[in-house]
Amino acid sequence: MSDDASAGELRAHTVRLELVDEPGELLRALEPIADNGGNLLSVFHERGSLTPRGRIPVEVDLECLPEQFDAIVSALRDAGVNVIQAGAERYGEEVTVLLVGDVIDTDFSETLSTIESRADASVVDVSLSAPNGTCEVSSARLRLAAETGATGEALDAVNEVADRKDLRVVEPLAELEVSA
């Protein structure tokens, strides 16, 4: 930290990441934090647990100036690190959708990756059902976390992928205004 930054300006932040289980990935994720003035407070690397996309969840607590935090998050993304949450306000909305059809045979992993890359959202929970085997109709329940106001963009991404793969989408019901 620079000498002109008073201790009162420093703030603690939490960043949740999703890393591929390969040598050097944790170091690659920590470098943008150090390069942008972040001071590591703790790193929780839960190798025994996997995210719905089969990656390792990592939670990093760091201390920095507020303006440095934005640069750190941008640098992580520029380095190709999947940032699931950055600070408390990252994902303010959740939505659950169902996909029905040849969900598994149409490369389910690619479906999840495409949804996350086309929308500012993260797949936070997945439930698959294939009662008659993977060669028959299957379904997936996806719970998506999106930035406040970006739920529509996430649903658009789901529908685009579903159209391309000939899957049916069951979207959440809109909330109704009830008058007294």
Pick the CATH number of 93-170 from 3.40.50.300, 3.30.70.260, 3.40.1800.10, 3.20.20.70: 3.30.70.260
* Domain definitions of the chain by residue range: 9-86, 93-170
The amino acid sitting at 121 is A
| Range list of H helices, 24-150 | 25-35, 66-78, 108-118
Which tokens in the block code for residue 125?
């929970």
Instruction: Identify the pLDDT of residue 3.
Output: 44
CATH superfamily of this structure's domain 9-86: ACT domain (3.30.70.260)
Three-state DSSP class for residue 20: coil
Same CATH fold assignment for domains 9-86 and 93-170:
yes
Rounded alpha-carbon distances, angstroms, from residue 15 to 83, 115, 150, 174: 7, 21, 20, 31
Question: Residue 54 has what DSSP assignment?
Answer: S
Residue 8 has pLDDT above 80, yes or no: no
* Each residue's pLDDT tens digit, 145-161: 777 677 888 899 999 99
